[in-house]
Structure 1
Amino acid sequence: MRRVATGLLVLMAAAFFASRTLEPRHPVFGFVRAFAEAAMVGGLADWFAVTALFRHPLGLPIPHTAIIPRNKNRIGDQLASFLRDYFLIPAVVARRMHRIDVAGAAGRWLANPRGAGGSRLTRGVSRLATEVLQALDQERLGGMVRAMMVTRVRETEVSPMLGRALAAAIAEERHRPVIDALVRWMRGALSANEHLVRAMVHDRAGAVLRWTGLDETLANKIIDGLDKLVAEMAENREHPVRIKVEEALVSVSERLQYDHDLRARVEALKIELLENAAMQDWINGLWEQARSAMLRAARDPDALMAGRLGEALHQLGATLQNDPRLGRIINRFVRRAAVGAAADYGDAIVRLVSETVRGWDEQTVTMRLEHAVGRDLQFIRINGTLVGGLVGVAIHIVDVLL
């Protein structure tokens, strides 16, 4: 557009000199000369005005030129103030968020990621997510994530949580399959280790018992008794031993919640585990696995959407579209989150904008703003050239008539 505007100015200059030479031959060239002459004046004036916004015209330090580079700090402050006064006010954010159906948009995209521009959106999000994950300082980010996880676990008292979880499992009888599995394991372990029982009885029996062979009989009785006990426990869920085990579990769940000594021991064990080198390596491995999984998902979102997770997301999208109550809940949550972010972080965002613009050098500010609005500014030059020419013709007509 700059070349078009400049070319038009050069064309007017050529038309001016040509019409000036040809004017004595015919009066019409007088109108052409008037148009071209005024068009040059208008084009040059608007070229000066447009150029003066971004730099000194012809490199001359003319006063009140290079306006944007000279006032970049004030522009940054004004832009930040504009954001704060018109966009980051919680009431304004809430009013605008009322018009946005986030749940519906998310539901439509999840239900059909490839439709209505969704494929392009998916590719864009994928590319952006990949670039962000790769651009971050992985060692530093990993350290932050690990520190956050460890800090969170340190600050959370796990004993009452374990106690409540165990109590809920017992109340819903979800502990019984665990006891069944334990009984089956005991039966298998007893069958596989009969020789150990026999060896233990033989070693502890007296010489008389060993000489008479009663140690073997005693070992058989013990094994048969244990096997019968385990078999009865497996067949009868109301077996006294199983009831004792369940009572012990109930007691443990209550102690985990209310026994201060046990809670202190559990907390000490938790801290000891967190400080263990093997646990630290495991946490590090968790972060690396999570990062690798995120990168794989970001690089190939179509594969992610085609798996079981994709099916779940499709179902979620359909639910979001068909369940108005769920949509209202999600929209309300998003609206409150946006309003809370504006209230809590609005000033920080404003400072970020202002400090970012202040940190740019003059050339960067000029380049970014000129790329953003430069095309429209060149239209100003073109319009100035054409309007100036028309005004010149009007003045020439008045001059001829008078």
Structure 2
Amino acid sequence: MDPISLLEQEQLAQLAKFRRIATGLLLLMAIVFVVTRRFELAYPWLALVRAFAEAAMVGALADWFAVTALFKHPLGLPIPHTAIIRRNKDRIGVSIANFLEHNFMTREVISEELREVDFAAALASWLESPGNGRRLAQQLAGTVPALLRMVEDKDVGHFLQQRAAAALQDVRFAPLLGELLALLKAGGQHQRVFDHVIELAADALERNRPYIRQKIHDKSPRWLPKSIDEKFFERLLEELNNILDEMREEDSEWRGRFEFAAENFIDNLKTSPEYEARLARMIHNTMAQEEFRGYVTQVWRDIKARLLRDVRAEDSKAVGRLEQALVALARALEQDRAVSAKLNQWLRGFATETIVHRRGEIAQLVERVIRKWDGETIARKIELHVGKDLQYIRINGTLVGGMVGLLLHLAAQALT
């Protein structure tokens, strides 16, 4: 049985108990009235008790009628202006919704109520409790497979391609590349590239000596002695290595030419419309190819497969990193009051603005729910919540009515 049903059962039991008390008090006053009326002539002082009981019955009956008329027709009789809640449930729903909207869900009320709430401390304390960070990380990671299954690979590939094309449409690639190369050049990275190319060339010469010797021999005339071919080969490699050694020197002419070519290329990237158009066309053509879409789709599939394998593993790296991030967040919130204050301010502002902005919708929800209830249901729900207090009205009406009747009886005796 759910908690709401248990609560209603408890409320119903309390309502029945106090209803029996109020009704029993009315019956007691009726018995007292009959008995005192019967023996009043023999015992004149019983007139005071009779007056009390008589007025108490009137008060009890009047309050019984008033309380009953709120929820149903007294004795089942369709008396006008009874069963008030049942007949006016829609108007009551509108009134409750308006009352909530304009008295509870105002910016002033919500801001005041949230001012002392320390969301950051509560979050930090919860995350630092044993196991909470791990469980939250597992729940967050557990949503990944469901989200991934919702998305088709082809759709993702097409979407990523479209988004990339839209995002890159207005980007000026040539100046951007020029600035990047200028930054690398300022750090001397272009010279490292130059040195690396020299070393690659030297290594290629050394590794391909037999191939070069064979090519020289194949292209030489048949009548030329092999010894001359061999000397030509050795001289050629020697000169090539000399050139490479010369290029390695810091102040070599080759290095100066490369420096000039790099500066000229960077300047053209930054300023030349032709370079810009050529580079943009190359990127556009690449992204328009079906092979590129297939490559993007395959990359997405690889990422998806790795994510799925990881989040399902017992020692999931994603869960571990999420847990570390959550614990680090908790510690930061505890140690850095400025961060905590900013988080609290943001959460309070977000909650306040969200509720205030949506208060009309919340009020309409209350109104719609009440409108969907039938009259008997809403009358029963309200009676369960306030019925016990209304039975106190019946009890008080009985006692107060009796006291008033007694005072009126004494006043009448004094005037006669």
Instruction: Provide the residue aligned with 2:146 in structure 1.
Output: 134
Counterparts of 1:271 and 1:10, CA distance in 2? 80
Relative to structure 1, the CA distance from residue 315 to residue 184 in structure 2 (aligned partners, 3 Å threshold; closer, same or farther) is farther
> Once superposed, what is the RMSD of the aligned Cα atoms?
5.8
Return the letter of the residue paired with 2:15: L
Kindly provide the CA deviation profile for residues 277-311 of structure 1, in whole angstroms up to 9, marking residues without a partner as x. 22212323444555667775799999558559958
Return the letter of the residue paired with 2:295: W
- Do the aligned partners of 2:269 and 2:276 also contact (CA within 8 Å) in 1? yes
Matched, 1:284 2:282: no
Classify the secondary structure of the residue corresponding to 1:282. helix
Relative to structure 1, the CA distance from residue 62 to residue 170 in structure 2 (aligned partners, 3 Å threshold; closer, same or farther) is same
Alignment of structure 1 residues 177-216 onto 2, 5 Å: 177-209=192-224, 211-216=225-230
Matched, 1:11 2:35: no
Instruction: Provide the residue aligned with 2:89 in structure 1.
Output: 65
Counterparts of 1:12 and 1:355, CA distance in 2? 38
Kindly provide the CA deviation profile for residues 325-347 of structure 1, in whole angstroms up to 9, marking residues without a partner as x. xx69x969x98xx99xx9xxx9x
**Deviation at residue 259 of structure 1 after TM alignment:** 1.5
Instruction: Provide the residue aligned with 2:163 in structure 1.
Output: 148
Return the letter of the residue paired with 1:262: Y
Match of 2:176 among 146, 150, 161: 161
Match of 1:217 among 231, 247, 253: 231
Return the letter of the residue paired with 2:139: R
**Deviation at residue 217 of structure 1 after TM alignment:** 1.9
Kindly provide the CA deviation profile for residues 220-241 of structure 1, in whole angstroms up to 9, marking residues without a partner as x. 222233234335545x344332
Q: TM-score, normalised by structure 2?
A: 0.60
Kindly provide the CA deviation profile for residues 254-279 of structure 1, in whole angstroms up to 9, marking residues without a partner as x. 11111111211111110011112222
**Deviation at residue 160 of structure 1 after TM alignment:** 1.1
Counterparts of 2:332 and 2:285, CA distance in 1? 46
Counterparts of 2:136 and 2:130, CA distance in 1? 10
| Aligned pairs, number | 355
Relative to structure 1, the CA distance from residue 2 to residue 359 in structure 2 (aligned partners, 3 Å threshold; closer, same or farther) is closer
- Do the aligned partners of 1:205 and 1:215 also contact (CA within 8 Å) in 2? yes
Q: TM-score, normalised by structure 1?
A: 0.61
Relative to structure 1, the CA distance from residue 362 to residue 379 in structure 2 (aligned partners, 3 Å threshold; closer, same or farther) is closer
- Do the aligned partners of 1:183 and 1:230 also contact (CA within 8 Å) in 2? yes
Matched, 1:243 2:267: no
Relative to structure 1, the CA distance from residue 221 to residue 273 in structure 2 (aligned partners, 3 Å threshold; closer, same or farther) is same
Identical amino acids, percent of aligned pairs: 15
Counterparts of 1:142 and 1:47, CA distance in 2? 63
Instruction: Provide the residue aligned with 2:403 in structure 1.
Output: 397
- Do the aligned partners of 1:20 and 1:33 also contact (CA within 8 Å) in 2? yes
Relative to structure 1, the CA distance from residue 319 to residue 189 in structure 2 (aligned partners, 3 Å threshold; closer, same or farther) is farther
Relative to structure 1, the CA distance from residue 141 to residue 213 in structure 2 (aligned partners, 3 Å threshold; closer, same or farther) is closer
Q: Which has the larger radius of gyration?
A: 2
Counterparts of 2:127 and 2:178, CA distance in 1? 46
Matched, 1:261 2:274: yes
**Deviation at residue 65 of structure 1 after TM alignment:** 1.7
- Do the aligned partners of 1:34 and 1:393 also contact (CA within 8 Å) in 2? no
**Deviation at residue 201 of structure 1 after TM alignment:** 2.0
Counterparts of 2:381 and 2:177, CA distance in 1? 65
Counterparts of 1:309 and 1:245, CA distance in 2? 51
**Deviation at residue 36 of structure 1 after TM alignment:** 8.5
- Do the aligned partners of 1:39 and 1:387 also contact (CA within 8 Å) in 2? yes
**Deviation at residue 42 of structure 1 after TM alignment:** 7.3
Counterparts of 1:271 and 1:35, CA distance in 2? 91
Counterparts of 1:98 and 1:239, CA distance in 2? 72
**Deviation at residue 252 of structure 1 after TM alignment:** 1.6
Counterparts of 1:47 and 1:129, CA distance in 2? 52
Structure 1 residue runs without a partner (length 5+): 49-58, 368-373
